[in-house]
Amino acid sequence: MNNSQPRGRGGSQTARGTVRSQARRAELIATGRKLFADTSYDALSMDDIARQAGVAKGLISYYFTNKRGYYLAIIEDAVAELVERAGSTHDLPPVERVQRTVDGYLRYAQHHQAAYRAIVTGGVGFDAEVMAIRDAVRARLLGTIALGAWGRTDLPPVARTALTGWLSSVEGVTLDWIAEQELPRETVVALLVRGLGDTLRLIEECEPGCPAPPRPPA
């Protein structure tokens, strides 16, 4: 009995330490997202980051190894939020689900412009690791679309290619929209949803096993 009590206390202390560590890491990522939103990657040094975060530079190195590791962690966090938004409409009717998913995607891009640009353009120059993160989020988003349209995530080649083309157009439209800020978000949603409907009907022509949903009433 006496031997088990210290182990229990130690385990509890370890758990509390883990929770604190995770919370501290999350705080640093939140700070980094704000920093990189306002300042380019190359313009920020580790000393700058530590000063803005109000911590010792060694703490950032402890959690993320270096500035690149910190930046990648911030991008991965942004991707996780974007994917979560896209997959949070599963309990809605199909048409409303698509509209809410696209609207949530655009809202994210509008309010996290630096992170969004980094995700879809590959980050700092051509960054293979950021590109891999982008490819992963594309795959997750394609799976979300396929699940909503056909109740499945395994895509025939023609469906995967066509939906990838639509998603690439979404990225281009979104980048233009957040840069120019000329159109209301509702208009952009309507354009993208209409484009998805046209893409799904084209897929059905080539792959009858992937029927398009009915057109929404005019």
Mind listing the pLDDT tens digit for each residue in 73-116?
888 887 777 777 666 666 666 677 788 888 888 988 888 887 78
Q: How far apart are CA 119 and CA 131, in angstroms?
A: 8
Average pLDDT rounded to a whole number, residues 122-133: 69
Q: What is the pLDDT of residue 148?
A: 79
Cβ neighbors of 23 (< 8 A, separation 6 or more) are none
| Residue closest to 129 by CA, chosen among 90, 177, 74, 180 | 74
Which two structure tokens, joined as six digits, stand for 115? 């992170």
Burial status of residue 133 (CB atoms within 10 A of its CB: 0-12, 13-18, 19 or more): buried
User: Whole-prediction pTM value?
Assistant: 0.72
Mind listing the pLDDT tens digit for each residue in 128-148?
777 787 788 888 888 888 887
122 confidence band (pLDDT: 50, 70, 90): low
DSSP state of 92: S
Q: What is the pLDDT of residue 2?
A: 45
Q: How far apart are CA 111 and CA 177, in angstroms?
A: 12
